[in-house]
Amino acid sequence: MMQSSEPDNLARSETNKMKKIRVLLLFGGQSAEHEISVISARSVYASIDTSRYEIILGGISRSGQWFLDSGERSLLEQDEVADGSGVPVQLGAGQPELVTLDGPRVNVTTFDVVFPLLHGPHGEDGCVQGLLELVDAAYVGAGVAASAVGMDKELSRAVFGHAGLRQTEYLVVRRNAWNADRAGIRSHIESTLRYPLFVKPVNLGSSIGISKVHDSESLETAMDLAAGYDIKMMIETSVERARELECAVLGNENPNASVIGEIIPGAEFYDYTTKYIDDRSQLIVPADLPEDTKTDIQEMAIAAFRAIDGAGLGRVDFLLSPSGEAFLNEINTMPGFTPISMYPRLWQASGIEYPALIDRLIELALERHQETRHVSLNR
Ligand SMILES: Nc1ncnc2c1ncn2[C@@H]1O[C@H](COP(=O)(O)OP(=O)(O)O)[C@@H](O)[C@H]1O
Ligand SMILES: [Mg+2]
């Protein structure tokens, strides 16, 4: 070893200490939760530890175009990422970088990790995650398969069933089949499940296209409504007078479960209006529950997260029947992330403040990227 290299190494480690982690915060997106995503992104931008991280703002418009912030957080100033609101940008080929074309010049923006703070279809369903995999980027949250399975209620139900997790009874009907034989399908539904029922599009979220159905007459309308949003519809037994409970999961290989929160929708169910428009719904953290119910729900939340092969974060939602039985309803792999959203609130109540939660998620993203590298091709 040459002694003269020592001062050099020291100098280098000093610069390493100072080098900030460059986080590409992706927000907006093509789903109905575009505006929620913008609000979540503002919160992350305002709370992230700027002594450790440098944020690059990447907005995705409703039409799917990507924009880089052209000034100081101007992309976050509007409720929506509009087309033309920043510098058009695209992901580099095979490398974790963003590329903008400025006449004949090519500008490259590099980043160390992506926080895809996008909800719903084309954000939380594996599509963006797949793009990020292709450029070998580290990113916060679930991978391609877990995101896709988490978004598809039919696939997640199959995986949860395989893991032995308690769920309501359900059927899945394809739109083509429904349109070909409405009477036959109606009698099949009615001979298999008992009213009241819930009818949902399989791949959506935000309660869009979901109806509660009390009788044969309204079943048809509900099926048509859901069929307007998806090629698959799910029909399931209603858990009547259910309490809606949510548990947050954080981690990769050995995830932890938070305390449990409760939502009081203030309507017949937690529909789109109660979620986003009026403020009748109430979030109670922590929920008042018997010890064994808490344990049951936390164990199921971790099992559900593991079953879909989740990573980073997930919010697992339950319906608790009046007799005390908890049914697993769904997992959200990129839950709402404003400081008043359930996911951060559950961690705050479990001892992790919002900025520390962001830190931990970035750390988990980098760890997972490291761990999965050796299984990838040509790396
Ligand atoms: N089987 C059910 N029993 C009782 N309520 C339900 C049932 N399924 C859905 N709901 C109600 O509908 C809401 C939305 O359903 P959910 O499956 O969570 O769809 P989304 O993915 O759109 O959030 C739930 O939060 C709950 O209020
Ligand atoms: Mg839900």
Average pLDDT over residues 269-293: 84
What strands, in cross-sheet order, belong to the sheet with 243-251? Answer: 282-284, 256-264, 243-251, 312-320, 326-332
pLDDT in tens, 21-79: 999 999 999 988 899 999 999 999 999 999 999 999 999 999 999 999 877 788 999 99
Does residue 19 share a domain with residue 100? Answer: yes
Work out the percent of the chain whose per-residue pLDDT is above 70: 93
Burial (0-12, 13-18, 19+ Cβ within 10 Å), 235: buried
266, 275 Cβ separation under 8 angstroms: no
- The domain in which residue 19 lies consists of 5-139
Minimum CA distance residue for ligand 1 atom 14: 207
List ligand 1's pocket residues with C-beta within 6 A.
Answer: 168, 198, 200, 204-207, 210, 236, 238-239, 242, 244, 265, 269-270, 317, 319, 329-330
Does residue 301 share a domain with residue 154? Answer: yes
Domain count, the chain: 3
Backbone angles phi, psi at 143, to 5 degrees: -75, -170
Does residue 162 share a domain with residue 300? Answer: yes
Between the alpha carbon of residue 76 and those of residues 59, 68, 110, 291, the distances in Å are 8, 11, 20, 42
Q: Which ligand neighbours the alpha carbon of 212 most closely?
A: 1
Q: Is residue 273 part of a domain?
A: yes
Number of Cβ atoms within 10 Å of the Cβ of 73: 13
Average pLDDT, the chain: 91
314, 249 Cβ separation under 8 angstroms: yes
Q: In the prediction, which pLDDT does 2 show?
A: 37
Minimum CA distance residue for ligand 1 atom 11: 269
14 or 202, higher pLDDT:
202
Q: In the prediction, which pLDDT does 377 show?
A: 57
Of 210, 263, 271, 316, the one to substitute when testing ligand 1's pocket (max ligand atoms within 8 A of C-beta) is: 210
Q: Is residue 376 part of a domain?
A: no
Minimum CA distance residue for ligand 1 atom 16: 207
Q: In the prediction, which pLDDT does 3 show?
A: 40
The alpha helices in 4-122, defined as continuous H runs, are: 5-18, 34-47
| Residue 280's CATH number | 3.30.470.20
Does residue 293 share a domain with residue 276? Answer: yes
Does residue 130 share a domain with residue 83? Answer: yes
- For ligand 1, the distance from its centroid to the CA atom of residue 375, given in whole angstroms, is 37
pTM assigned to the model: 0.92
Q: In the prediction, which pLDDT does 4 show?
A: 40
Q: 199 pairs with which residues across the strands?
A: 211, 235
Does residue 201 share a domain with residue 160? Answer: no
Residue 5: band (very low, low, confident or very high) from pLDDT cuts 50, 70, 90: very low
Structure tokens at 129: 């995650």
| Residue 134's CATH number | 3.40.50.20
